Structure 1
Amino acid sequence: MTQSTPEPSSASATYLPKEEAGVSFPPERTALLVIDPVNDFLSEGGAGWELTKKTVEMNDVIAHLKCVIEAARARGIQVLFGPMAYTEEDYANEQLQRRSGINRLMFERKMFLAGSWGADFHPDLQPRDGDTVLLPHKSCDVFTTDLPEHLQRMGITHLVIAGMTANLCCESTGRHAMEAGFDVTFLSDAIGAASVPEYEAAIRLNFPLIANAVVTVDEFLAAIADSPPARADVQAGDTVRGSDHGEIGTVEKVVAATEQTEGYLIVPRGIIFHTDTYIPLDAVAKRSGTDVFINIPKLVVGTMPWSEPPSQNERQAKRGPRAKEVRKLYGSHSPSAHEGVSHR
């Protein structure tokens, strides 16, 4: 197991070049982040086991985590472990137990105490040589640790998140990663939570709006299989899915961009009365086999203005005005000036 020293950098990740947009998970730029795979969450007798037991067993989280970790290693994908650990100083000096409800809960239950069995990795999910173990996060966001520096050092653009718990550490970290410019994927059946409602809310509602895809471990494994590269372009007959994995429809036709319209997919929808949906090609975020994922959930597709082919003029209107043409950023006001910071 390596704990390499990260090289400081202020640069954030960037999305794949346009010509590579069909590649779902380039191994050299993909990292698997396993959050809190420790005994307090995953083992009988752990301080949080009675809370997490139902979803962990429902999703077979331990087996799925073990499977995806081993597959990632075999494929040359970086594996990072993001655990928690608390010391007396955290509570005496930093007063973490007063920060939030979740910090109070962990404090009262004596969870993740540094050096304890509860803070140790589950026996089936131990880091190995070549993996990276991060500094402990003291809140719900693993991005507050040395994670960004390691991702930058490794040249990562795609972050795949699994572990515990769905609506707290996984969601907070994924949200921060998305804001930093990373392509984010959640593995739905390798994640648990303190209750089924918390898990469902994260998986069904929040993750699809944060990530480019929410997929199962099997689907991720199929996407990274060591086989000849799959075609990157979308073709008629492909199944279109939302970022929530919901099936939207089948591609009837792929229309290339012209001077008048941007490129788009024609996807008929409706069981009795078919209505064509015109999905911009640049909404396609990933593919796995013949499934293509767009970067919004099925839940909101019906609210999108996609009842007509997308015109280049409309696309420009969606982008808004040029910065130099804006007198006041918020219409009637501009941001307050701060010393050393300029605002147009």
Structure 2
Amino acid sequence: MNTALVLVDIQNDYFKGGRNELFNPDQAASHAEEALSLFREKRLPIVHIQCVLLEENATFFLPDTEGINIHERVTPQSGEKVIVKHTPDSFFQTELQEHLESMDVTRLVVCGMMSHICIDSTVRTASRLGYEVILLGDACATRDLEWNGTVIPAKTVHDTFMASLQGTFAQVVSTSSLADMV
């Protein structure tokens, strides 16, 4: 079984001082860095997803800003594929599926940001396309949301999305268990 690591939107705008700071992005990035090191050590395929928003009303991931750059903790190395996307779903109108098929990848290890949007849509599409998906729950981050005047804390948002993806769309695990799986 060919397995690839897909790092979704681990970009500067989500970190301290960025245009859309998340809750505990450094902790998630640390776990993503751990997974990245493992894949590099085992010489397994790695794909970095980079979001650039083109809508007029976009407030972050703006073209030609420092915020769109992939964070230094997971900077792509030579030979690691970088795919630019313009929507939450890493597969939508990108070359991701074609690239994975060219390497006969059948299983994905996914991590990144934001749990409730880009991770959710990417994992659901990957599952629908027939990939076995391992989601590194501790290598993902999100932010507080607001609904009907109530603030929903980021931890609750994240836990809810991990629980909704677990079993049906992905196997949600901690990064510490990854070495035994790849």
Alignment TM-score > 0.5, same fold: yes
Q: What fraction of aligned residue pairs are identical, expressed as a percent? A: 25
Quote how far apart the aligned CAs of 1:75 are. 0.7
Residue 137 of structure 1 corresponds to 85
Quote how far apart the aligned CAs of 1:130 are. 1.7
AA at the equivalent of 1:65: A
- The CA deviation string for residues 46-86 of structure 1, in whole angstroms up to 9 with x for no partner, is 0111xx13x435xx212111111011011121110111113
Larger Rg: 1
Quote how far apart the aligned CAs of 1:223 are. 2.3
Which aligned pairs between 1:286-325 and structure 2 lie closer than 5 A? none
Which aligned pairs between 1:189-204 and structure 2 lie closer than 5 A? 189-194=138-143, 195-204=154-163
Residue 33 of structure 1 corresponds to 6
Structure 2 runs not aligned, ≥5 long: 144-153
Which aligned pairs between 1:158-173 and structure 2 lie closer than 5 A? 158-173=107-122
Is the CA contact 1:36–1:84 (under 8 Å) kept in the aligned structure 2? yes
- The CA deviation string for residues 151-193 of structure 1, in whole angstroms up to 9 with x for no partner, is 1111100011100011211110111111111111100110111
Indicate yes or no: 2:18 matched with 1:46: yes
Tell me, in whole angstroms, the C-alpha distance in 1 between the residues paired with 2:79 and 2:176: 23
Structure 1 runs not aligned, ≥5 long: 1-25, 92-96, 98-106, 225-344
Quote how far apart the aligned CAs of 1:196 are. 1.6
AA at the equivalent of 1:139: T
CA distance 1:169–1:207, shift in 2 (3 Å): farther
- The CA deviation string for residues 1-31 of structure 1, in whole angstroms up to 9 with x for no partner, is xxxxxxxxxxxxxxxxxxxxxxxxx4xx100
After TM superposition, the score normalised by the length of structure 2 is 0.88
TM superposition outliers: structure 1 runs of 4+ over 4 Å: none
Across the aligned residues of Structure 1 and Structure 2, the Cα RMSD in angstroms comes to: 1.4
Residue 149 of structure 2 corresponds to none
- The CA deviation string for residues 265-312 of structure 1, in whole angstroms up to 9 with x for no partner, is xxxxxxxxxxxxxxxxxxxxxxxxxxxxxxxxxxxxxxxxxxxxxxxx
